[in-house]
Structure 1
Amino acid sequence: MRIDKFLKVSRIIKRRSVAKEIADKGRILINGKVAKSSSDVKSNDEITIKFGNKTLTVLVKELLDTTKKDDAQRMYEITSETYERDFKNE
């Protein structure tokens, strides 16, 4: 499954177009390698996504073509969520 579709179906990112844009800017890594929006995702892959000052790392558990809101979290497990501090305001 393509990374942009996985991120949308799992509801990590709400829109596939946004997921594609983030991936094409080099802000998504799959197993430590920069991913493009067309990169394939498999079970047990580690995905790291950089959102502004937040970095989210998830482990792919299951690939589903469609999900209901309650089932989306079965697709992944959050392994790390870090925030960079903003030193400008201190």
Structure 2
Amino acid sequence: MRLDLFLKITRLIKRRPLAKEAAEAGCITRNGQPAKAGDDIKAGDRLVVDLANRHVEVEVLAEPPKQLRKDDVDSYIRLLNAYNPNSENRQ
């Protein structure tokens, strides 16, 4: 599954064009390497989404279906780290 589609389906980024722009700007890494919107995402990959208003690190557990209920997202990604870089409280 393409990176931009994966980010949209798993709700890490709201819209696919925003995911593409973030990837082109170098804000997304896959396994420590800069990612492109068309990169193939598979189980075991680690993604870091570093945007102006949030920083999210996830591990891909499985490829999700084309449509995914919000309640089922945790079956496909594991949240490793998430925080707001503009805030002093990091979780």
Give the aligned partner of residue 18 of structure 2.
18
Q: Give the letter aligned to residue 63 of structure 1.
A: E
Q: How many residues align?
A: 87
| Superposed CA offset, 1:31-58 (max 9, x none) | 0000010111110100001111532100
Q: Residue 44 of structure 1 aligns to a residue in which SS? A: coil
Q: Residue 52 of structure 1 aligns to a residue in which SS? A: coil
Name the structure where helix makes up a greater proportion of residues: 1
Question: What is the CA-CA distance between 1:82 and the residue it aligns to?
Answer: 3.6
Question: What is the CA-CA distance between 1:60 and the residue it aligns to?
Answer: 0.3
Question: What is the CA-CA distance between 1:61 and the residue it aligns to?
Answer: 0.7
Structure 2's unaligned 5+ residue stretches are: none
TM-score, length basis structure 1: 0.85
For the pair 1:38 / 2:27, whether they are aligned, the reply is no
For the pair 1:79 / 2:80, whether they are aligned, the reply is yes
For the pair 1:51 / 2:51, whether they are aligned, the reply is yes
The alignment's C-alpha RMSD in Å is 1.7
- In 1, the alpha carbon distance for the partners of 2:57 and 2:28 equals 10
- In 2, the alpha carbon distance for the partners of 1:16 and 1:83 equals 22
Change (3 A) 1:53 1:70: closer
Q: Residue 63 of structure 2 aligns to a residue in which SS? A: coil
Identity of paired residues, percent? 35
TM-score, length basis structure 2: 0.85
